């Protein structure tokens, strides 16, 4: 299963959700790969404890390879496979991001490389689950991810600007599905940093549900543990396995796997 975690609004929890769901997947015994398509490299840092300086073994190298036309096959997927890094956790792997994604983007767009990620993932074997983190913008990389994935998870942070972004986003996903990827389904909206006691977030979420939007039941509370877990580069199930947030993430994982 390939999941893309996308919302063009920044700071809603994409990278946190990507890495924490992937960490649980790996704990469950599934060989799990995170692909970091965001130039900010937050998922890379969260899972590896560092950014990757040399672009050779990153997603940038994979895309760069796709620009060098080989007349002799060149179709062995080595670009993506050699960019896979082990993490400190069993079964959990990451293809890191790299700043070179930025200058590459225009060339990739003008040479129609939007299906390259999908093609490479179709050929990639040995993984049970793939999670793709995206930048907070609809650009070449987030579109590549939407084309490559089967499911789209949408983090939502309960503010009214996010609600506007949500409608645009649902439309975008529908359009990508219609034009480029029939398999793509919205798996659900993940309510992140949900303040259960406060009126406004509750009202907002009830309205989304009443409108028929696919809001997942498992919601994630705000907690300082998230920031802490980022700073020590340990996903929550490893950093604070018995904390409420780890339970909430396990419930979220269980809900999308039932």
Ligand X SMILES: Nc1ncnc2c1ncn2[C@@H]1O[C@H](COP(=O)(O)OP(=O)(O)OP(=O)(O)O)[C@@H](O)[C@H]1O
List interacting residues with ligand X (CB under 6 A): 10-16, 38, 40, 42, 136, 192-193, 220, 222-223, 226-227, 230
Q: Pick from Mg ion, ligand X, none: which does 188 bind, CB < 5 to 8 A by kind?
A: none
DSSP per position, 156-209: E-S-HHHHHHHHHHHHHHHHHHHHT-TT-EEEEEEE-S--TT-HHHHHHHHHHH
Q: Which residue has the tokens 């672009």?
A: 55
Q: How far is the CB of 133 from ligand X (least distance, A)?
A: 7
> Smaller CB distance to ligand X: residue 119 or 247?
247
> Smaller CB distance to ligand X: residue 32 or 66?
32
> Smaller CB distance to ligand X: residue 79 or 155?
155
Q: How far is the CB of 71 from ligand X (least distance, A)?
A: 38
Q: How far is the CB of 15 from ligand X (least distance, A)?
A: 3
By CB under 5 A, name the binding residues for Mg ion: 14-15, 42
Per the CB < 8 A criterion, the answer to whether 160 and 204 are in contact is yes
- Using a CB cutoff of 8 Å and minimum separation of 24, what contacts does 47-50 make? 47/19, 47/22, 47/87, 47/92, 47/94, 47/233, 47/235, 48/85, 48/87, 48/94, 48/96, 48/233, 49/88, 49/233
Q: How far is the CB of 114 from ligand X (least distance, A)?
A: 21
Per the CB < 8 A criterion, the answer to whether 61 and 48 are in contact is no
How far apart CA 242 and CA 197 sit, in angstroms, is 22
User: What is the three-class DSSP state of 141?
Assistant: helix
Q: How many Cβ atoms are within 10 Å of 77's Cβ, its own excluded?
A: 17
Q: Pick from Mg ion, ligand X, none: which does 96 bind, CB < 5 to 8 A by kind?
A: none
> Smaller CB distance to ligand X: residue 227 or 258?
227
Q: Pick from ligand X, Mg ion, none: which does 223 bind, CB < 5 to 8 A by kind?
A: ligand X
> Smaller CB distance to Mg ion: residue 25 or 42?
42
Q: Pick from ligand X, Mg ion, none: which does 82 bind, CB < 5 to 8 A by kind?
A: none
Q: Pick from Mg ion, ligand X, none: which does 94 bind, CB < 5 to 8 A by kind?
A: none
Q: Pick from Mg ion, ligand X, none: which does 227 bind, CB < 5 to 8 A by kind?
A: ligand X
Q: How far is the CB of 11 from ligand X (least distance, A)?
A: 4
Q: How far is the CB of 194 from ligand X (least distance, A)?
A: 8
> Smaller CB distance to ligand X: residue 33 or 39?
39
How far apart CA 143 and CA 141 sit, in angstroms, is 5
Q: How far is the CB of 202 from Mg ion (least distance, A)?
A: 26
Output the CA torsion 215→231→257→151 (10° steps): 60
């Amino acid at each position: 299963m390939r999941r893309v975690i996308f919302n063009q609004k920044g700071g809603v929890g994409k990278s946190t959700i990507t890495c924490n769901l992937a960490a649980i997947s790996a704990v469950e015994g599934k060989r799990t790969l995170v692909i970091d398509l965001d130039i900010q490299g937050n998922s890379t840092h969260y899972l590896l404890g560092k950014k990757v300086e040399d672009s050779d073994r990153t997603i940038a190298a994979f895309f760069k390879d796709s620009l060098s036309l080989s007349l002799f096959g060149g179709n062995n997927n080595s670009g993506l496979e050699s960019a896979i890094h082990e993490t400190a956790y069993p079964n959990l792997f990451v293809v890191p991001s790299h700043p070179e994604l930025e200058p590459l983007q225009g060339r990739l767009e003008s040479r129609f490389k939007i299906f390259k990620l999908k093609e490479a993932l179709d050929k990639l074997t040995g993984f049970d689950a793939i999670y793709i983190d995206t930048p907070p913008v609809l650009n070449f990389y987030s579109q590549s991810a939407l084309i490559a994935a089967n499911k789209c998870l949408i983090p939502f942070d309960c503010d009214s600007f996010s609600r506007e972004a949500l409608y645009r986003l649902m439309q975008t996903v529908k359009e990508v599905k219609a034009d480029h990827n029939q398999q793509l389904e919205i798996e659900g909206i993940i309510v992140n940093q949900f303040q259960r006691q406060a009126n406004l977030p509750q009202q907002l979420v009830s309205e989304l549900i009443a409108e028929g939007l696919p809001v997942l039941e498992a919601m994630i509370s705000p907690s300082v543990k998230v920031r802490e877990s980022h700073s020590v580069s340990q996903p929550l199930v490893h950093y604070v396995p018995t904390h409420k947030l780890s339970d909430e993430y396990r419930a979220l994982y269980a809900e999308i796997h039932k």
